[in-house]
Amino acid sequence: MRRLLTLVAFLFSSAPAVAADSDIVIYGGNASGVASAVQASRMGKTAVLIEPGQHIGGLTSGGLGWTDSGDKRVIGGISREFYQRVKKHYDDPKSWVHQKQETYPFYRKDEDSMWAFEPKVAEQILRDMLKEAKVEVVFGERLDRAKGVKLDGKRIVSITTESGKTFAGKMFIDATYEGDLLASAGVSYTVGREANKQYDETINGVAKKWNTHLHRFTAKVDPFVKPGDPKSGLLFGIEADPLPADGEADKRLQAYCFRMCMSDVAANRVTFEKPADYDEAKYELLFRNFEAGDLRIPMKPDRMPNGKTDTNNNCAFSTDFIGQNYKYPDATYADREKIILAHLSYQKGLMWSLQNHKRVPEKVREQMAKWGLAKDEFTDTNHWPHQIYVREARRMVADYVVTEGDCRRKRDTPMSVGMGSYNMDSHNCARYVTADGFVQNEGDVQVSPGGPYRISYKSIVPKVGECPNLFVPVCLSSSHIAYGSVRMEPVFMVLGQSSATAACIAIDEKIDAQKVDYEKLKKRLVADKQVLEFAAPPSVGGVDPKKLAGVVVDDGDAELKGFEIASSAIGPFVGTGYRHDGNKDQGKHSAKFVPDLPAAGKYEVRVAYSANANRATNVKASVTYSGGTAEKTIDQKKKPPIDGLWVSLGTFEFAKGKTGSVIISNDGADGFVILDAVQWVPGK
């Protein structure tokens, strides 16, 4: 099989060792690098964008088509422009080759942007933006990390690639996921998880106590090669060394994976093949987990247009190759290649096993049988993404470190250059043996920040006294848990644009990056439609229930049985988020919403939920009113017709006080059941 182009891109370059001078040199052609280059050009500066591989867009064009955006209202500037161009592309009926436009639930004609897209569409849009801005793009040039950064004191003069090509500039931007330029320039950085006490946080460090999420073993699975015999050794992927105490630091990383673009359209589907180096032992935990009774489908195929997916990790044993990436950030290129190829082989073997292995339950194999890789995506890398999902690698340590305190707005973040809003989201970092002798995952934390928060300019420039002409919009200065929220592609684009804007001002003023006048920077960012502050109260991540008509009972005020998982990943929603059932334990989750009605009369009953392709189509809702009980069914895949948030269950007669109710359950549900709010609106 041909190797991924990102691994061997340096072989494609035959460029001579010729010096090239630009105002701004950007290393890393992901979406943040593109936004940086486009902004520099729009501000009248010359920019060169150097991409080690052969593709533009990084993860945005590398399979991550399901945009983890949080509150979309705080995504502005070039980042917003990209998603507006996505929408414009899908406005054209000719773009719908394998699906009708009206059958895709996340194409919404009345919205200005679209947040789900095919990989090849994303890359073409980003290439178009670069072409329009007349940015020079250089492919297949990889930084010589040992001796390729020429310094004058602490200032970068030029960078040289492995082929010997040199790029000189006045300002430099490290847009890589790994932070290779910042490290080679001698800038301070860290890898791994900090202890909670370091930055006065509560959810950083080792996180066994947070192990209440979906991505864990819910069945008791024996970890030993010979079941019940510790002397036989541990199965592949389980760590023998004990984990530090909860909240303590370590050097572990969020697991990596490939965000596969799959298809269930027969004409556009490529069969998953068994890898040549298939090792059955790597999947023993998968088989034992099924045999222990966990029959969840271990993947999350979010629907993209034209019958495709952005497939993510899910459940106990899935696409995340837990514990196999610890050495990646500081590894040599050759060792990184080995790590990436190991991930690729693992994920290929996983998908083949789910469809073919006899120890996978027949029901699971039948559900998996319809899937294959999309034939018209990643055609030069055998339909596998050209970019592995580097969820975190190096993180710069600057004079300001973004922490949980910033995300929760517990401190006043200075000098905003953009906003985040997504969950503080860490994937699993380790797999270990519990005290009672079973296997378990560790590290998955998913906590809402409670609304949008500011990201400081001081977190994207090195500390004073270090490199004065470098900007870092991707591997910015952040704690592990805060980075779990910041690390979203729309935010990286926002910070890329802000970095380039500051770089242009620094060039004009002939000053260091650390000395850019913030008021001047802010004025330009606002003019370019960047969102630096959000008007809504920080505690409200969605619609304020106090400002809604009638009587509203939010999910936190309902009588709950189950529905323990809180989220704010997909809006809109009421209050600070919603709950869901994790698509498990059908019939065991229910919630009773009881209003305190001010007067007897007719009320329209509305239920709030955020639509998504993984939602249930048959959510049961029971309305108890003066005349009896009405049974209703809600399709949560469909966008709610009232303000994109509410669906009406009808108008009923209610007595005054707390005599009525709405009960929502997951009985027989065929997907995730979302629990948000119920509203009683006085009728006529």
- CA 623, CA 640: separation in Å to the nearest integer? 18
- CA 492, CA 78: separation in Å to the nearest integer? 11
Average predicted confidence (pLDDT) for the chain: 93
Single-letter code of the amino acid located at 290: F
- CA 402, CA 417: separation in Å to the nearest integer? 13
Tokens representing 504 are 């242009």
Q: What is the pLDDT of residue 17?
A: 53
Helical segments of 324-440, H only:
333-356, 362-368, 404-407
Is this structure's pTM higher than 0.95?
no
Name residues whose C-beta falls within 8 Å of residue 549's C-beta, 6 or more positions apart in sequence: 679, 681, 682
Q: Is the dihedral of CA 208, 212, 216, 222 positive or negative?
A: positive
Q: What is the pLDDT of residue 213?
A: 73
**CATH top-level class of 545-682:** mainly beta
Phi-psi region of 140 (alpha: psi -120 to 50; beta: other; left: phi over 0): left
Least confident of 102-116, 306-320, 559-573: 559-573
Phi-psi region of 620 (alpha: psi -120 to 50; beta: other; left: phi over 0): beta
Q: In what order do the strands lie in the sheet with 677-682?
A: 551-554, 677-682, 601-608, 646-654
The mean pLDDT of 14-30, rounded to a whole number, is 77
Tell me: the pLDDT tens digits for 481-496?
999 999 999 999 999 9
Helical segments of 237-326, H only:
284-291
- Using CA atoms, how far residue 86 sits from 83, 90, 126, in Å, is 5, 6, 10
Of 679, 484, 677, nearest to 579 by C-alpha is 677
Tokens representing 218 are 């819910």
The mean pLDDT of 282-290, rounded to a whole number, is 98
Residues of the chain with CATH 2.60.120.260: 545-682
Check whether 1 has a pLDDT greater than 70.
no
Residues of the chain with pLDDT > 70: what percent?
96
Name residues whose C-beta falls within 8 Å of residue 391's C-beta, 6 or more positions apart in sequence: 253, 254, 255, 256, 427, 487
Question: Please, which pLDDT band fits residue 448 given cuts at 50, 70 and 90?
Answer: confident
- Give the DSSP H/E element, type plus range, for residue 561: strand 559-561
The mean pLDDT of 420-427, rounded to a whole number, is 93
Of 75, 67, 79, nearest to 35 by C-alpha is 79
Report strand pairing: 445-447 vs 439-442.
Answer: unpaired
- CA 328, CA 334: separation in Å to the nearest integer? 10
* CA geometry: angle 561, 562, 568, nearest 5 deg: 125
CB hemisphere CA count around 323 (13 angstroms): 15
- CA 303, CA 99: separation in Å to the nearest integer? 12
Check whether 309 has a pLDDT greater than 50.
yes
The mean pLDDT of 315-330, rounded to a whole number, is 98
**Fold (topology level) of 5-192+392-426+449-527:** FAD/NAD(P)-binding domain (3.50.50)
Q: What is the pLDDT of residue 2?
A: 40
Q: What is the pLDDT of residue 570?
A: 82
The mean pLDDT of 202-211, rounded to a whole number, is 88
Q: What is the pLDDT of residue 538?
A: 38
- CA 191, CA 205: separation in Å to the nearest integer? 12
Radius of gyration (C-alpha) of the chain in whole angstroms:
25
Residues of the chain with CATH 3.50.50.60: 5-192+392-426+449-527
Helical segments of 160-298, H only:
180-184, 284-291
- CA 499, CA 506: separation in Å to the nearest integer? 10
Name residues whose C-beta falls within 8 Å of residue 218's C-beta, 6 or more positions apart in sequence: 294, 316, 584
* CA geometry: angle 485, 490, 491, nearest 5 deg: 50
- CA 82, CA 443: separation in Å to the nearest integer? 32
Tell me: the pLDDT tens digits for 216-233?
999 999 999 999 999 999
- CA 313, CA 32: separation in Å to the nearest integer? 24
Report strand pairing: 372-374 vs 424-426.
Answer: unpaired
Tokens representing 540 are 């409200």
- CA 470, CA 325: separation in Å to the nearest integer? 27
The mean pLDDT of 185-203, rounded to a whole number, is 97
- CA 396, CA 612: separation in Å to the nearest integer? 35
Check whether 537 has a pLDDT greater than 60.
no
Of 597, 599, 598, 619, nearest to 608 by C-alpha is 619
Q: Let me know: does 173 contact 460? Beta carbons within 8 Å.
A: no
Check whether 273 has a pLDDT greater than 50.
yes
The mean pLDDT of 525-544, rounded to a whole number, is 75
Tell me the helices (H) and strands (E) count for the chain, helix number first: 12, 34
